[in-house]
Structure 1
Amino acid sequence: MNQEQQIMRWIDGHQEEIIDFLRQLIRIPSVNPWFFEEPGPSKEKDLQEFLAGKLSGLGARIEQWEPVADELKQYEGMAGYYPGRDFTGRPNLAATFEGEAAGKSLLLFGHIDVVMAGSKWTVDPFEGQIIDGNMYGRGTVDMKGGVAAMIMAVEAVLRSGFKPKGSVIVGTVVDEEAGGMGALDFIHHGYRADACILTEPTSLTIAPLCRGILWGKIKVQGRSGHIEMPQADWKDGGAVDAIKKARYLLDEIDRLNEDWAVRKTHPYLSIPCQVHVAQLKAGEYPTSFANEAEIVFNAQYLPSERDDKLVGGHVKKELIDFLMQAAQADPWLSEHPPEIEWLVDADCAETDADHPFVQTCVHSLQAIGESGKIEGLGFHTDMGWPVNVGIPTVNFGPGDPSLAHHSDEFTPVEEVIQAVKMIAKTIIDWCGVEEA
């Protein structure tokens, strides 16, 4: 029996242990405090402490630290930097399994924060219940299933009596769900490798691309007035319905999306970039025309559109110019132009699909009976900063990404096991293994 067969046999014989490890991660509700209505303690530290105990027990050298926003000022204007963000009790974690020069190094990377559970669950979101072969719980998809798989892949190699020839670093970070400052800080801390698997959910496909995401708020001005009374022309002081003006801009956004659907595409993405309206807020009283309206949107951009700071500055300018042009066609808006407040710029990145590491991952996936399909991710992941410093990176993990953030989020148990096998196979082929 060769090395690979022994490691795969260990995984097959310890499936319950692997799934129970994921269940333990789900049971620690590491909700990013950005989602709290009021400030409160985060459980991110509790989860990192749990992982540190697991990884140190496997022989890793452990480092934990809390990011400090003031120490990252040099990245102002770049991805993941948010001045003044507080990371008290929210540490990053790096666990290093030292290898020798004979093998290439590998970073296994993931975030441990999750969004809030929200409503309409039919099961406990922090229990890890298995129904019909699927594990339910907040984070099973995004992305504790992947974190569990990458750690258990390392354990499978070690418990089978081998050790990687090249160093393997397990990095788990905070804050991805609110912009990615944890990943920025991890790279700033100096961690590097010859390649990286970011274990975001991909339904077991290889994703060497993710899109950038812009969150913005368009503020549309109106002028309040009694909704049941005749109104003078706005130039004479009459009311202006901010909702009506917002509706006009929404129609213009629809037209913009028709253009983007043609221009902003990628061969590895199934859908084009669009400007999706996510929230609307307007009005104060049922008897008054809305004085102001707010349109909160989510716009995506491609790696080819990044600016000199490797974020979405070009697309921001495009959207501002579009909005001003639309405003010029409306007499009121031309004199009272809408404003955009930028909320989040979550970066994107791409690794060439022909890169040897990408192909290694494809072959690893094919070796365990999967198709080895390559496709991009329409959402942001933390792959930007590893790629920015020259680390070829792919996204790969269990779970359907369309189920992330859903009520009754779930991941097929079998996909978790397959992800463990693929990552273990990549450690064998990329890093090399030898008897411990």
Structure 2
Amino acid sequence: MANKYSKQIEDTIEKNKQKYIDHLLKLVSIDTHDIGHGIEGGLEGNGQEYLIQVFEEMHADEIQKDPLTEEAIVKCNELYNEGNIGHNYENRFNVYATINGKSKKSILFNGHIDHMPADNLEHWKIDPLKPEVIGDKITGLGVADMKAGLMAGIMASMVLQDAGIEFPVTVKYATVCDEEGGGNGSLCAAMNGVKADAVVVCEPTNYELIVAHMGWVFFQVEVSGIAVHSGLKLAGVNAIEKAGILMEAIDRLEHKWLLKYKHPLLPPPSSNVGVIYGGEAGSTIPDYCCFKTCVHYLPNLMSREQVIKEYTDAIYERCQGDSWLKEHMPKITTYQQGNPFEMELDHPFVGAFKNAYTDALGKEVKLVGSPAGCDSRTWHNIVKCPTVQYGPGSLEQCHAVNEFVTVDQYLDAIKIYANLIIEWANEE
């Protein structure tokens, strides 16, 4: 049975939907992209200032700027093996807002305001920073990943205000930077004491509720050789060919993991070679080759330390079977990482979300896992908050040309979030 406010929420969204869409269009029009995966910086500042204006218009009881700092990330890395060190934080700050409710019981909506820069501009139908509603789609850079989710969470509170519904619980917001660089924004929030009784990470989930995601580690492997003219090939050592031998070794490790580890909600662990470079000309034996990989691994069944050890062991053991590599071991480093996440399915917050979804859409939500990691791990693993992941859009639209969410996905997310605020108050 739907809660007593669900029809009022639905009617209010229908009446004011253009206002809620316009807020999203405005946010998407502001360039907030990361530079070099956040290592070189980010342009989130203007977008955060706009959200402060929105919170001020909503008469939020508390609004706070929180600059990202290297100190917080170093501490997080030491304590939790999380955080990506060495990023540029100039004019990069989180924004936290609180709207007090009848109860001190709280719910927090989390989203990242940064997005990847636009690629393949010639294939975009529109200027990526001039978002448009085209048919049933809201198209623009960063709209799926994840400005629609971030704004939908904020608009859920605006809906309650527009409907004249008293907030039954305290609603909090953490809009963060540098997620695309590995999640440093939410990690800073965690280290600075931001918390709530429950958290929704508003990443796109395509009408499904994500309750688990995989962990990841990025590796860089550098291989040396001896450069000579290609006509003297036997006098040289081809670093690209030696790198290929090592790629075969990690493929065998991936196959071993595939047979050993199973998870009911997630795909098997995997390793992907995403970048390879080396050599200068077809007529020269290359004396250097570097390849970069990403490993995704499973929660509770595998650990970051285990993955790093087994990965490096597989490479070094293969080197023992090659006379050159045995004496010239490759250099292996990691440069980004994030732990996996898995929510307890019997927690009351999961039940509250299920009820809110049914209140809003009249059907049951499907619980799934995600191969892509996100900030859910931070709120669940470090802050120790019950956490779920739900938002408008789909993973396929993240970082895509002509990125979009449908109008219905966006408005339905607002409806679900508003009902969730009510249901969380009702959940014992």
TM-score tier (shorter): over 0.9
Query: Is 1:343 equivalent to 2:335 in the alignment?
Result: yes
1:410-425 equivalence runs, <5 A: 410-425=404-419
- Matches of 1:273 and 1:366 in 2, distance apart? 33
SS of the aligned residue for 2:166 comes to: strand
Say how many residue pairs are matched: 419
**After superposition, what is the alpha-carbon deviation per residue over 1:34-80, rounded to whole angstroms, capped at 9, x for unaligned?**
3489x57x431111110011012112110012122124432234354
Q: Using the alignment, how far apart are the partners of 1:381 and 1:413 within structure 2?
A: 24
Residue matched to 2:279: 283
Q: Is residue 34 of structure 2 the alignment partner of residue 13 of structure 1? A: no
Partner of 1:304: 300
In 2, the alpha carbon distance for the partners of 1:155 and 1:298 equals 40
Using the alignment, how far apart are the partners of 1:362 and 1:11 within structure 2? 20
1:312-362 Cα deviation digits (max 9, x unpaired): 222111111111112122222122122211110122211112211112112
Report the counterpart of residue 46 of structure 2 in structure 1: 46
8 Å CA contact retained: 1:69, 1:82 = no
Q: Deviations over 1:116-143 (max 9, x none)?
A: 1111323211121222311111111111
Match of 2:368, SS state, is coil
1:163 counterpart = 2:166? yes
TM-score (ref. length: structure 2): 0.93
Whether contact under 8 Å (1:81, 1:184) holds in the other structure is: yes
- Letter of the 1:49 counterpart: E
Letter in 1 for 2:370: L
Separation in 1, partners of 2:395, 2:220: 25
Give the Cα–Cα distance (whole angstroms) in 2 for the partners of residues 109 and 306 of structure 1: 27
Q: CA deviation at 1:285?
A: 2.6
Determine if contact 1:79/1:180 at 8 Å carries over to the other structure.
no
Question: How far off is 1:84 after superposition?
Answer: 4.1
The one of 20, 23, 26 equivalent to 1:24 is: 26
Contact 2:102–2:166 (Cα < 8 Å) also in 1: no
* Residue 372 of structure 2 is aligned to residue 372 of structure 1: no
* Aligned twin of 1:384: 377
Residue in 2 that maps onto 1:107: 108
Matched, 1:151 2:154: yes
- Whole-Å separation in 2 of the counterparts to 1:354 and 1:2: 25
Task: Name the residue aligned to 1:320.
Answer: 312
User: Which moves more between the two structures, 138-147 or 117-126?
Assistant: 117-126
- Secondary structure of the residue aligned to 2:232 is coil
C-alpha displacement at 1:431, in angstroms? Answer: 2.9
3-state secondary structure, aligned to 1:62: strand
Aligned-partner Cα distance in 2 for 1:111–1:230: 51
Aligned pairs for 1:185-334 within 5 A: 185-229=188-232, 231=234, 238-269=235-266, 271-305=267-301, 307=303, 312-334=304-326
Deviations 1:81-115 (A, max 9, x none): 334433221110000011244x6310100110001
Residue of 391, 415, 429 corresponding to 2:423:
429
Does the 8 Å contact 1:80/1:346 carry over to 2?
Answer: yes
Q: Is the Cα contact below 8 Å between 1:112 and 1:172 reproduced in 2?
A: yes
More divergent stretch after superposition (116-125 vs 139-148): 116-125
Deviates more, 1:241-250 or 1:289-298: 241-250
Task: Report the counterpart of residue 56 of structure 2 in structure 1.
Answer: 56
Please provide the CA RMSD for this pair.
2.0
Paired with 2:154 and 2:146, the residues of 1 have a C-alpha distance of 13
What does 1:133-152 align with in structure 2 at a 5 Å threshold? 133-152=136-155
Which residue, 352, 367, 373 being the options, matches 2:344?
Answer: 352
Partner Cα separation in structure 2 for residue 82 and residue 190 of structure 1: 19
1:96 to 95, 98, 108: 98
Partner of 2:390: 396
Q: Work out whether residues 79 and 184 of structure 1, in 8 Å CA contact, stay in contact via their aligned partners in 2.
A: no
| Among candidates 176, 183, 204, match of residue 173 of structure 1 | 176
Tell me the distance in 2 between the aligned counterparts of 1:215 and 1:393: 25
Separation of aligned partners in 1, 2:142 and 2:262: 29
Over residues 205-240 of structure 1, what are the superposed CA-to-partner deviations in whole Å (9 max), with x where a residue is unaligned? 111111111111111121111112352xxxxxx211
Asked if the contact 1:217/1:342 (under 8 Å) is kept, the reply is yes
Between stretches 168-177 and 357-366, larger displacement belongs to 357-366
d(CA) in 2 for partners of 1:369, 1:266: 29
CA distance in 2, matches of 1:72, 1:86: 12
Match of 1:256, as an amino acid? L
Give the aligned partner of residue 235 of structure 1.
Answer: none
Unaligned runs of 5+ in 2: none
In 2, the alpha carbon distance for the partners of 1:110 and 1:306 equals 27
State the identity as a percent.
30
CA separation of 1:53/1:200 partners in 2, compared to 1, >3 Å: closer, same or farther?
same
The CA distance in 1 between the partners of 2:82 and 2:49, in whole Å, is 24
SS for the counterpart of 1:168 is strand
Name the CA distance, whole Å, in 2 between partners of 1:79 and 1:12. 45
Once residues 302 and 9 of structure 1 are traced to their aligned partners in structure 2, the CA distance between those partners, rounded to angstroms, is 42
Gaps of 5+ in 1: 232-237
- In 1, Cα distance between the equivalents of 2:17 and 2:397? 23
Q: Is the 8 A contact 2:37 2:180 kept in 1?
A: no
**Alignment CA distance shift 1:56-1:285 (3 Å):** same
Whether the 8 Å contact between 2:268 and 2:298 is mirrored in structure 1 is no
SS at match of 1:207: strand
Contact in 2 for aligned 1:211/1:379 (Cα 8 Å): yes
Aligned partner of 1:212: which letter?
A: G
Distance 2:19 2:65 in 1: 26
